[in-house]
Amino acid sequence: MVAVPAASAAPESAGRLKQSVCRWCYAKIPLDDLCRQAAEMGLSGVDLVEPDEWPTVRKYGLVPTVTQGKATIPDGWNRKESHARLEAEMRGRIARAAEAKVPNVITFSGNRNGMSDEEGKANCILGLNRVKKFAEDSGVTVVLELLNSKVNHKDYQCDHTAWAVDVVKAVDSPRVKLLYDIYHMQIMEGDIIHTVKDNIQYIGHFHTGGVPGRHELDDTQELQWRTVAKVIADLNFQGFFAHEFLPTRDPIASLKEAVVLCTV
């Protein structure tokens, strides 16, 4: 067993990966406190923060890494009737992100609601094609999130990597990529390392979370997170690697343990 540095020895910078933290997992901690401690433990950014929070994140030298805006998981690009509204919302969000130098905006496929995967795929391609040029011109990446439909998001359509890669390949834009959530894909598929290696060029952002339970990245979990982090770093991944787990112990201590574990 490889020894992992003690959490108390958190690094000044979190290694080769640009590690970040998802705000919603630490919602009870004032944002100022979270950002200050995140910066101290070597994190590079904070995920899922909105415009009124961006100045606080920047104050501590951190990047507001991804914004969600009004986007909701069940309602996405797989419905043609939603395309005009989603395009307008996305253009507004991309413009605001570009102005503030926020690198990513998140988007979703939507739920199936009886729709075949082939129809949903075709509709998502059509929809994302409507915003790709604006994203390219703005220098902002649209990240389509992979989520599990087995435990957390029943009926969500973008629940397998192959389906999502087909969408991104067809859209064919350097500014439309995947948010590969390791927690969700471990539940749906497993085979994380092989899948990431095969598809790294289509991935713009990562989320973590222990399986089972979406808790700490520790020895209660299925994956060897240090190994996963090293593989991603060895692939020269330049996006953000964000911790999105729900701590069951002291939240800052748990976050620091994850940061140290994934500092490779």
Residue 2 belongs to some domain of the structure: no
- pLDDT per residue as tens digits for the range 26-52: 999 999 999 999 999 999 999 999 999
Residue 97 belongs to some domain of the structure: yes
**Is residue 5 scored above 60 in pLDDT?**
no
**Is residue 6 scored above 90 in pLDDT?**
no
Angle between helices 251-261 and 225-234 in degrees, nearest 10 = 50
Please state the pTM of the whole predicted model: 0.93
**Is residue 8 scored above 70 in pLDDT?**
no
pLDDT range class, residue 12, cuts 50, 70, 90:
low
Residue 91 belongs to some domain of the structure: yes
CATH number reported for the structural domain that contains residue 15 in this entry: 3.20.20.150
pLDDT range class, residue 258, cuts 50, 70, 90:
very high
* Domain interval for residue 100: 7-261
- pLDDT per residue as tens digits for the range 118-173: 999 999 999 999 999 999 999 999 999 999 999 999 999 999 999 999 999 999 99
- What per-residue confidence (pLDDT) applies to 14? 73
Tally of domains within the chain: 1
- pLDDT per residue as tens digits for the range 186-238: 999 999 999 999 999 999 999 999 999 999 999 999 999 999 999 999 999 99
Residue 19 belongs to some domain of the structure: yes
Residue 1 belongs to some domain of the structure: no
Residue 76 belongs to some domain of the structure: yes
Mean pLDDT of 175-194: 98
pLDDT range class, residue 69, cuts 50, 70, 90:
confident
Mean pLDDT of 80-102: 97
